[in-house]
Structure 1
Amino acid sequence: MKASILAGIVTAIGCQAACAQSSVELYGIIDSGIVIGRGGPKGSDLKLEGGVSNGSRLGFRGKEDLGGGASAIFVMESGLLNDTGALDQGGLQFGRQSYVGVNGASGSLTMGRQYTPIYTTLLMADPFGNNFGGASGQLMSGEKAGVRMNNTVMYGSPVVGGFNAQLAYGFGEVAGDASKSRQLGAALGYANGPLSLRVGYNRQNNATSTDAARNTLFAAKYDFGSVITTLAWGSNRGIGAIDSRDVLAGISIPFGANLLMASYIHKSDLSPSHAADAHQLALACTHALSKRTALYAAVSGLSNTHFTTTKFASGSRELDLGVRHTF
């Protein structure tokens, strides 16, 4: 039954065996910044870090025209710690993304290591794109639920009347019980002119039981032209996470070659102790030297009784200064 459903989706997408044009693109980002941290248990930090404003990476993406409006697609993307030359994402060769699939008028079907639908929902709401010391993923459900899913089959629908959807299934691959370690993700989005709305959901089962962590995130974005505002609300329940609620408010102001960004996040711990109640305030500015090169500066503060670090420094306050180049 499952095999027939999968075959039907592939057929609907329009995968046709045909000789056609193909292309492969090499791309990447190199980002390095000086990070100064304050308020840590061992004192101040002074470090050079890679991927402060955007994760450094080297990637390959390709597309082959299959005819009938259908294409074969793939992405292989490595995360780099260019301050040391090591691989990011725990040393995985293609730890950022690694998938292959087909794309057509009926949507896309991809298989491999991919971003979770709830994380792409978080990226829509965070003006920093989950970067700098004030990255939203330190507190928000979109990262706590998991940035990426391994062993994943994902379907992305076409846009119909402004709506689009994502469905993802991550195989747990535990012998004897397919439900263990299984991950499910979904998102529904709507865009109409300056307004964008999106809700993402993620469920991840425990490796040894049927318990599951459940995360939901609602996001809204409105582009006034001179100012872009964002709002998000998240709920986190189940294993591996503190039952909590998150709220984010963000703003982006482009002017000339500059982009000013700010965000405020509040986490409400739903346990009796409220030990993980937290709030975070962050400000960043980028200045484009060219279409590919930018300078940046960012400050952030994280005040709470449970979390003890900002993204790159072991403290409650962080200053980032650096340069980013894309190719």
Structure 2
Amino acid sequence: MKTIFKMLLAKPVVVAGLLACACIGNAQAQTNVTIYGRVVDGINYQSNQLTGSVNANNKPIVGGKWGVDGNVWGTSMFGFQGNEDLGGGLKALFQLENGFDGSTGTVNGGSGLWTRRSLVGLSGSLGTLKIGRDLTLPSDVGYSGRS
């Protein structure tokens, strides 16, 4: 027993690793994580559009135009959100959300991931405190249905 104790004292990295594994195991059992998303695309037809050509009288030629467009009536997005009960009515929370164009796959609002939301916070009886990048306050309840 003394030998094991001396070995653990001599190897603080081993002790830290064992404690981290024990804490991670407990956290995973109590964590609530949701993966969500939506794809918004549409087929559009527009009449009386310039074709880029002119007729014999040098007048622009108009015609119809068909197209596939992303984010026609909303934003395509995917995300992860979760919380963990810390006890006493207090919860830790996080949310990572990325917007994209469903017709091309390109990222909306930047070149990296989590262009819509990337935040952590605490929620309890006094309210919720979020730190990070979030959408405007009305969009939490009204548009996306997520808080």
Task: Identify whether the pair has TM-score above 0.5, normalized to the shorter chain.
Answer: yes
Does 2:144 correspond to 1:104?
no
Instruction: For residues 245-301 of structure 1, give each alpha carbon's deviation from its aligned partner in whole angstroms, at most 9, with x where no partner exists.
Output: xxxxxxxxxxxxxxxxxxxxxxxxxxxxxxxxxxxxxxxxxxxxxxxxxxxxxxxxx
Q: How many residues align?
A: 107
CA separation in 2, counterparts of 1:38 and 1:90? Answer: 32
Distance of aligned partners of 1:23 and 1:49 in 2 relative to their CA distance in 1, 3 Å threshold: same
CA separation in 1, counterparts of 2:90 and 2:46? Answer: 49
Partner residue in 2 for 1:26:
35
The structure that is strand-richer by fraction is: 1
TM-score (norm 1): 0.29
Partner residue in 1 for 2:20:
none
Residues 64, 73 of structure 1: 8 Å contact kept: yes
Deviation for aligned residue 1:38: 5.0
Partner residue in 2 for 1:65:
85
Residue correspondence of structure 1 range 111-150 to structure 2 within 5 A = 111-117=131-137, 119-120=138-139, 124=142, 129=143
CA separation in 1, counterparts of 2:48 and 2:110? Answer: 27
Please, which of 101, 114, 123 is the counterpart of residue 94 of structure 1?
114
CA separation in 2, counterparts of 1:103 and 1:76? Answer: 17
Give the root-mean-square deviation of aligned CA atoms: 3.0
CA separation in 2, counterparts of 1:98 and 1:38? Answer: 41
Residue correspondence of structure 1 range 47-86 to structure 2 within 5 A = 47-86=67-106
Query: What code does the residue aligned with 1:56 have?
Result: S
The structure that is helix-richer by fraction is: 2
Unaligned runs of 5+ in 1: 1-18, 131-155, 157-327
CA separation in 2, counterparts of 1:46 and 1:99? Answer: 39
**Percent of aligned pairs with the same amino acid:** 34
Distance of aligned partners of 1:84 and 1:108 in 2 relative to their CA distance in 1, 3 Å threshold: same
CA separation in 2, counterparts of 1:27 and 1:66? Answer: 24
**Counterpart secondary structure, 2:115:** coil
Query: What code does the residue aligned with 1:62 have?
Result: G
Deviation for aligned residue 1:57: 1.0
Unaligned runs of 5+ in 2: 1-25, 53-61
